Structure 1
Amino acid sequence: MSQRTLFHSLQFEDVDRAIAFLRAVGFTEAACFRDESGAVVHAQYDWRDTGGVMFGSVTRDEDPDTGWARSAGHGQCYCVVESDERVDEVHAAAVAAGATSIRAPENPDYGGRTCAVRDAEGNQWSFGSYGGE
């Protein structure tokens, strides 16, 4: 397996609903750490063997060490899938898991096949067979 070197980072109000969505579209759990209240303080879900997302529960207060406050619903992520047919399958799985379709599967001029959905918290996810140049 290749070492992952880039992670998209997100925060979720309803982290358990987010985990169900991530699993439905093909992510796999690598780690998930919760505090005593059940809030996720750190999770890593892998995308195939080359990428992934790290996420946690929303925090309202700024971290005294970093000044960061973590809010939900502002992310965008593009995930490469194995084939044009897989784009349609992932789109259907995402919608079945509660996402809203914002772009049905289509074949753009630059190649491959692509689609886009918005998860329940407003993050936008694109899935496509185009793997870049």
Structure 2
Amino acid sequence: MIHPLFKAALKRPDLLIRHLANYGELLKCEAADAGKGLLVQAAAGVAAAMALVLALGLTGVAVMLGILQATFHWVLVAVPAVAWLCVMVGGLMAMRSVVRRDIQDVRDEVERDLRLIRLAKELKDE
């Protein structure tokens, strides 16, 4: 007649309060991690934009020096290549999603609890 969850809450309210407090702590930790992840993404985006400007400038200078000198030297490729590598690394870090994983962890935890509640109800009905 009474759902097992309500019976447990009436008999041991401290368990329900502790469970809800743990959910609050989980959400707090996940929000902090998501905030840090967003900060890292923003910093990586700014670094990638700065590296892009630098890479374009260095590439232009390398092309001009190569044409002006009429010779090829490996430094004219290596220096802009390092800047382009920084652009790619910063861009990849800025594009990866951290928040979606954190939210999924919380959703999985809620789904597990709901599954246990349904199982308890089914066992009670049998």
- Please tell me the TM-score bracket, short chain as reference: under 0.3
TM-score, structure 1 normalization: 0.21
Question: Which of the pair has the greater relative contact order for Cα pairs under 8 Å at 6+ separation?
Answer: 2
Answer 1 or 2: which has greater helix percent: 2
